[in-house]
Amino acid sequence: MTFNSPFMRRYMRNKGAVAGMVVLLLVAFIAVFGPWIATNDPWGMVQQPFLRPWTEPGFAMGTDTLGRDILSGVIYGARISLLIGLVSTVVALLIGVTLGAIAGYFGGWIDAALMRFTEIFQAVPSFALAIVLVAIFQPSVGSIVAAIAIVSWPPVARLVRSEFLTLRQRDFVQAALLAGQSTPRIILTQILPNAMSPIIVMASLMIATAILLESSLSFLGLGDPNQMSWGYMVGSARTVLRQAWWMALFPGLAIVLTVLALNLVGEGLNDGLNQRLDGRTK
């Protein structure tokens, strides 16, 4: 993909999306190279507790109630947030796209059955369900990913189903049927590529939601106890919020910036993949 392609042209026109992409790349860089950037072990008690930011060299964000380096915590938190956001979104897409594609392609009672199944998940408050699932399976990266994926696939299934319902009626699908192409082949090569644009946009927003969900779970103490995460840091700073504002502020800012960046990128992808937008003012 070159910089002159219509996709890039439309994406670059959205200034917010460009800024979001820059922030996101920065967060991704920090996440990948975190262990080499961070000066301290995020769990290690390396300084006196309640150290204010900028008072000691090397502790730009100060320390928390136990004397752990907050900057290192934020850096390591980026790893876990992005990891959980990405993996749980991929899992949710796998479930949602599969069920939605089958429901939309076959229609009839298969569609009805799958959609009722989807509605069961939509009828339960998703955060409550996630809490229950994590509590049952013991908090760990795996169980958190599973819980987030299980509560976030239904909207994907609905979106994919509606795309398939309309695309299935297209003449090129009918032509493929007449040519005797197999059903999986038609679903995967004829219809799915044409439904990708809205799925990609939705996925970028789902990563943002997954990061928020993970933070909320960690805030409640349901995060992986072996992983330093932004939500856990905000949660543990809650009791001393009035004495030590910095403990909650920096991880909180990290969450806000990452989620905001993902939302902006999602909007940019929407513009970029929407071919009808060309030549219109925005």
Partner 1 sequence: MSVTAMKPVQPVLDIVELSICLPTGADRALAVEGASLSVLPGQTLCVVGESGSGKSMIANSVMGLLPLPHVRPVGGKILFEGIDLLTLTEPQMRELRGRRIGMVFQEPMTALNPVMRIGEQIGEVFDAHMNVPADEKRKRILAALADVGLPEPELLIDAYPFRLSGGQRQRVMIACALILEPVLLICDEPTTALDVTTQAQILKLVRELQKRRGTAVLFITHDFGVVSEIADQVVVMQTGKVVEAGPARDVLQAPQHPYTRKLIDAIPTGTATRGPSTSDAPYVLQVQDLCKTYRSGNGLFKRGRSVQAAKDINFDLRRGETLGVVGESGSGKSSVGRCLVGLAPFDSGRILFNGRNLSQGGNFRAAAEGKIQMVFQDPYASLNPRHRVGAAIAGGPIAQGVSKSEAMARTMALLKLVGLGADAADRYPHEFSGGQRQRIGIARALAMQPSLLVADEPVSALDVSVQAQVLELFAQVREEFQLAMVFITHDLRVAGQMCDHIAVMQRGVVVEYGETAKVLGDPQHEYTRKLIDAVPRLSSPDEAPALAA
Q: Which is nearer to partner 1, 65 or 274 (CB)?
A: 274
- Read off the tokens for 81: 């947030």
By CB under 8 A, tell whether 108 contacts partner 1: no
Q: Is 179 in the site for partner 1 (CB under 8 A)?
A: yes
Question: At closest approach, how far in Å is the CB of 157 from partner 1?
Answer: 22
Q: Which of 170, 184, 238, 241 binds partner 1 (CB under 8 A)?
A: 170
Say whether residue 193 binds partner 1 (CB under 8 A): yes
Separation CA 92–CA 95 (nearest Å): 5
Distance CA 96, CA 281 (A): 34
The answer to whether residue 110 forms part of the interface with partner 1 (CB under 8 A) is: no
**Does 55 interact with partner 1 (rule: CB under 8 A)?**
no
Distance from C-alpha of 148 to C-alpha of 143, rounded to nearest angstrom:
9
185 lines the binding site for partner 1 (CB under 8 A): yes
Query: How many angstroms separate the Cα of 166 from the Cα of each of 100, 104, 144, 177?
Result: 13, 9, 35, 16
Distance CA 50, CA 161 (A): 53
Q: Indicate whether 243 belongs to the interface with partner 1 (CB under 8 A).
A: no
Least distance between partner 1 and beta carbon 179 (Å): 3
Q: In whole angstroms, what is the distance from residue 68 CA to residue 226 CA?
A: 15
Give the DSSP letter of residue 42.
T
Nearer to partner 1 (CB atom), residue 15 or residue 185: 185
Q: State the Cα–Cα distance between residues 265 and 19, nearest whole angstrom.
A: 8
Name the residue nearer to partner 1 (CB basis): 123 or 178: 178
**Does residue number 189 form part of the binding site for partner 1 (CB under 8 A)?**
yes
List residues binding partner 1 (CB under 8 A): 170-172, 174-182, 185, 189-190, 193-194, 278-281
